[in-house]
Amino acid sequence: MAYQSSVWLGSVAALCPSQDTTGDGTTTLTDFATVSNGTLTNMDAATDWVTDDSKRCLDFDGTNDHVITDCTPVGGAKRLAFAIKFRRLATTGNGVFAGIANAISGSVNNRFIVYHYSDGNLYCNFDGTNVGYFAFALTDVAWHSLVIHYDGSQTGNANRLKMWLDGVAKTLTFMGTIPAQLTTITAGRLLLGVVSDSSALYGRSRIDDVRVNLRLWSDAERAEIDASRGGTYALASGGKPSLPFSQQVIG
């Protein structure tokens, strides 16, 4: 396919084990947006880099495995795009987890997190009580592509939060009010395999190709991200990684 070089614009994190030949077998997960690498924590570098569906990915045990990055967001951002490739590894319990939080076990009021809970719903959670979600079967253990757009400049929950699974827009159920801007997250970090709550929640899953942008993707860019695990990590003409969170224009 003809890759859209603009998919890089606004990138603040691009973590893709299937494309990470230097990180493979180590405790470092390379950030292709060149902002901050991730560190495999409570994980075995020799066994938790695995091949699944002919591509490399990270295997999370659902007990204490996680990746913590130094990717630190600023508060007040009104737009955020998030994408992840994932596969559940169990037909009960919790599944994929990732997001931006102030600590692994910290305040539930400072976070943007994505998780598949044991009740069979896949959630995007802002600040503890403001949530959008859709049903996702616990028995589904196939690979999936999830894309989330948050746009606080819009009005109404359905306009502020949109989610696509494998390119198909999902009808969301909401609790509370999706906020007009992201909360300031003190010492915030992008985390994989775990989300911050009053206690840490871990997911039994495999994860690949996690991306965060401080802008929304076009339909063509979303199609590129969905098309394969990894898409392009060779910078096309005109494409470039973005500045760190702290240097992004907020609006």
| Domains of the chain, residue spans | 5-245
- pLDDT band at 4, cuts 50/70/90? low
Q: What integer pLDDT is reported at residue 246 of this predicted model?
A: 47
Total-model pTM: 0.91
pLDDT digits (tens, 9 = 90+) for 167-214: 999 999 999 999 998 876 666 788 999 987 667 889 999 999 999 888
Contacts of residue 86, defined as CB under 8 A and 6 or more positions apart, other chains included, come to 95, 96, 116, 143, 144, 146, 205, 206, 207, 208
CB 49 within 8 A of CB 175: no
pLDDT at residue 6 tops 90: no
Using alpha carbons, list the distances in angstroms from residue 37 to 72, 89, 90: 12, 25, 28
CATH class of 5-245: mainly beta
Q: What percent of the chain has pLDDT over 70?
A: 82
Report d(CA 29, CA 21) in Å as an integer: 10
End-to-end CA distance of the chain: 32
- Concatenating the DSSP letter of every residue in 83-124 gives EEEEEE--SSS---EEEEES-SB--TTSEEEEEE-TTSEEEE
3-class DSSP state for residue 61? strand
